[in-house]
Amino acid sequence: MDGINEKGLYVSVQRVDIKKGDQPGRFPAGSSMLLRYILDDCANVDEAIRKTAAGIIVPGDWQECHFMVSDATGRSVVIESRNSNVQVIPSDICTNFYLGSDDIEDSYRGDKLREEAVQMTDEDMKTSYHYGYGHGYHRFVTIQGQLECYRDTDKKDYYTRMPESTALVILQSVAQNPYTNAAGISMTQYSAIYNNEKKTVEVWPFQNYSKSFKFDVEGNRISVDQ
């Protein structure tokens, strides 16, 4: 659910958990189609933002997910729809929870609504490994803490700069292992590093970080040393 085009525009679709009372996405394939439209028709972040407001795929169709978009200039945003309201959030991190609204985890216990930011134990003091702000918050802050070490403070935009080997270490640190309670609702099926300038992608399947496959934007396999 991600890709890059010949202009160096990268798009990724990530699922978010909707709340009670929120509108579900009306069109199951809507997010996949919008991703395809963005990659086919857009060259940069601004064009991708405009694309979400045009065409037959409307915000209500794809709102159980959000899009991370970055371009060859280094700019990155998260585009998300909640109850058909679209928000664009400048961010270089995106996991599986809403960034543009208060998303403290809502839970019902005994028919009573609870909102919790971080819940490490339940009422009986039993361990409950549960982070608020939706599925993916613990991975978000893990990435955020590591990126702070690589901020380019000499420039106004404060972009991160690091070798791809370092980026891979960060990806490994947030991989979801299916054999632990901390994994949440899914497992990491693959990790990928996209290079917007070179227009390449390198993929490590099924958490096997000893072997990768690298491709150019036309789908040709290239050496991992390039």
Domain boundaries, the chain: 2-222
Question: Which DSSP symbol is given to 60?
Answer: G
The amino acid occupying position 146 is Q
Give me the residue label for tokens 């292992």: 177
In angstroms, the CA 160 to CA 153 distance is 9
- Amino acid (one-letter) located at 184: G
Judge whether 46 and 9 are in contact, CB under 8 Å.
no
Tokens standing for residue 200: 């390449």
DSSP reduced 3-state for 137: helix
Q: What is the pLDDT of residue 103?
A: 52
Q: Please give the Cα distance from 198 to 59 (Å, whole number).
A: 31
Amino acid 129: pLDDT: 43
Query: Domain 2-222 in CATH: superfamily?
Result: Penicillin V Acylase; Chain A (3.60.60.10)
Tokens, residue 94: 């995106």
Token pair of 24 as six digits: 């579900």
CA nearest neighbour of 132 among 166, 106, 162: 106
Instruction: Write down the pLDDT at residue 78.
Output: 95
CB 67 within 8 A of CB 38: yes
Place of tokens 């795929």: 57
Outline where DSSP puts E strands in 112-189. 112-116, 118-121, 127-131
> Looking at residue 122, what is its pLDDT?
57
pLDDT of residue 179: 63
The pLDDT profile of the chain, 226 residues, written as one tens digit per residue, is 899 999 999 999 998 877 777 888 888 889 999 999 999 999 999 999 999 987 788 889 998 899 999 999 989 999 999 888 899 999 999 988 888 875 555 555 666 655 555 444 556 766 554 444 556 777 888 898 999 888 887 877 667 888 899 999 999 999 887 765 554 556 888 999 999 999 999 999 999 999 999 999 999 999 887 6
Tokens 């609870």 found at: 114
Which residues lie closer than 8 Å to 149 by C-beta, 6 or more apart? Answer: none
Query: Are 193 and 201 a contacting pair, CB within 8 Å?
Result: yes
Partner residues linked to 4 by β-bridges: 10
Q: Report the Cα 31 to chain-centroid distance in Å.
A: 13
